[in-house]
Amino acid sequence: MEASQLLQNLLNGLAIGSVYAIFALGYTLVFSILGIINFAHGAVFTLGAYFTYTLVVGQFENNGLLKGVNLFPQGSPLSGNPWAFALATLVGAVIAGFVAVLIERLAFRPMRARGADPLLALVSSLGVALVIVNLIQLLVGAEIYNFPSDAYGEVRPALSFQIGDRVVIVRTVQIIIFAVSLAMLAVLGYVIGRTKVGKALRAVAESPGTASLLGISVDRFILITFFLSGFLGGLAGTLVGTAFGVAGPYFGVTYGLKGLAVIVLGGLGSIPGAVVGGLVIGLAEAFVPADYSAYKDAVAFALLFVILLVRPQGLLGRTQIQKV
């Protein structure tokens, strides 16, 4: 492989891997608090992209109940320049966060209150995911939606530089994805590691009973966790949608599965693990030989399988010690 292609693949892999990482962090946060996988996370990812699309475009042309609706006949105020688009992305992610809170109230809390098996909560979240996906299809149709390129305004052209006789080009949107993901990871790392909220979250994750005795409202922090998880999922949805288009209501299914691979690879419940796992899978996909790139999803899961054979707890996970 030539140096230019190597570098191009590396940059492509880092961009997509960083989205996998922030998406997977949503899974990890919920898992570390409740010890269960929230299967509705992929649907929240999809919703995030649709929320931003609604704020930026507000027009639905495909085969859904909203066909023909135009929320902004004069053009959206959240479109046309990068800052307006960033604001729409942020608001979209916040709404996605509130949807995740709603999911917690409807699908997880009732189960927890009855002391139900965690497996039931998992099935319940799967049901919520299917309802959301079908609701999206009913409302806006099943077709792909694209953010119009003028929605970001006049963004700088893609980064490009020459290596030998080849030009390496990185799309502007890839740079934005990478930068936003890094910023989110830094903020989240700070919140979890350095703030009181973060300490409380870690306490709840370690032992809900003890945290409750220390005066921490466990239910409140579970809601905060779900909000953060939904926010990260929704943000990842918009970032991917901006780069590649919002590919219909089932858009989040593949990313949902890949997010699972990321957190298992990185180590269940490990925040640094989710980041490393995301980057490893993104890079692995980018380096699949181009002739076989149609199989890149299979390659990601094959890599997961191989690594788990060698290190069952994942790359940065801790071995569970069973006390007898």
Partner 1 sequence: MKRMALTVTFTLLAAAQAQRVATPVPIGVAVAQTSNTALLGQEQVIGARFAEKFLNARGGIGGTPIKLVFQDAAGDENSAINAFQNLITKENVVGIVGPTLSQQAFAADPIAERAKVPVLGPSNTAKGIPQIGQFIARVSAPVAVVAPNAIKQALRLDPKIKKVAVLYAQNDAFSTSETGTFQDTAKAQGLNVATVQKFQTTDTDFTTQVTAVLNAGVDLVIVSGLAADGGNLVKQLRQLGYKGSIIGGNGLNTSNIFPVCQQYCDGIIIAQAYSPAQPSAANQVFVKEYRAQYKKDPPQFAAQAYAGVQVMVEALKAIDRKKKLGTWNLNDLRAELNKQILAGKYNTPLGELRFDKDGEIIQKDFYVAQIKMKDAKTGSFVFLK
> CA 123 to CA 320: how far, in whole Å?
24
Residues contacting 128, CB < 8 A, separation 6+: 39, 40, 43, 103, 106, 107
Which of 234, 199, 211 is closest to 102 using CA atoms? Answer: 234
By CB under 8 A, name the one of 105, 131, 137, 311 that touches partner 1: 137
Stretch that binds partner 1, among 68-76, 176-184, 285-293, 310-318 (CB under 8 A): 285-293
SS3 246: strand
Nearer to partner 1, 141 or 267 (CB): 141
By CB under 8 A, name the one of 105, 109, 296, 311 that touches partner 1: 296
- For the bound state, the minimum distance from the C-beta of residue 166 to partner 1, rounded and expressed in Å, comes to 7
Nearer to partner 1, 226 or 255 (CB): 255
- For the bound state, the minimum distance from the C-beta of residue 174 to partner 1, rounded and expressed in Å, comes to 8
- Does the footprint of partner 1 cover residue 67 (CB under 8 A)? no
Tracing tokens 């925040």 back to the chain, one arrives at 271
Q: Say if residue 241 is exposed, middle or buried (CB neighbours under 10 Å; 0-12, 13-18, 19+).
A: buried
- For the bound state, the minimum distance from the C-beta of residue 112 to partner 1, rounded and expressed in Å, comes to 35
Helices (H), the chain: 3-34, 41-56, 82-103, 109-113, 118-140, 172-194, 196-206, 208-213, 218-244, 251-266, 271-286, 296-310
Nearer to partner 1, 96 or 151 (CB): 151
Which of 33, 103, 86, 42 is closest to 250 using CA atoms? Answer: 42
Could you tell me the sign of the dihedral formed by the alpha carbons of 54, 60, 64, 65, in that order? Answer: positive
Residues numbered 217-256 forming contacts with partner 1, rule: CB under 8 A: 240, 243-245, 247-248, 251, 254
- For the bound state, the minimum distance from the C-beta of residue 44 to partner 1, rounded and expressed in Å, comes to 18
DSSP letters along 63-81, please?
SSTTTT-BS-TT--TT-SS
- For the bound state, the minimum distance from the C-beta of residue 16 to partner 1, rounded and expressed in Å, comes to 6
- For the bound state, the minimum distance from the C-beta of residue 322 to partner 1, rounded and expressed in Å, comes to 41
Stretch that binds partner 1, among 8-16, 38-46, 106-114, 219-227 (CB under 8 A): 8-16
Inter-residue contact 298 to 261 (CB < 8 Å): no
Nearer to partner 1, 175 or 216 (CB): 175
Q: Residue 171 is which amino acid?
A: R
By CB under 8 A, name the one of 286, 300, 304, 316 that touches partner 1: 286
- Binding site residues, partner 1, CB under 8 A: 2, 4-5, 8-9, 12, 16, 61-63, 137, 141-146, 148-150, 158, 160, 166-167, 169, 171, 173-174, 240, 243-245, 247-248, 251, 254, 285-286, 288, 290-294, 296
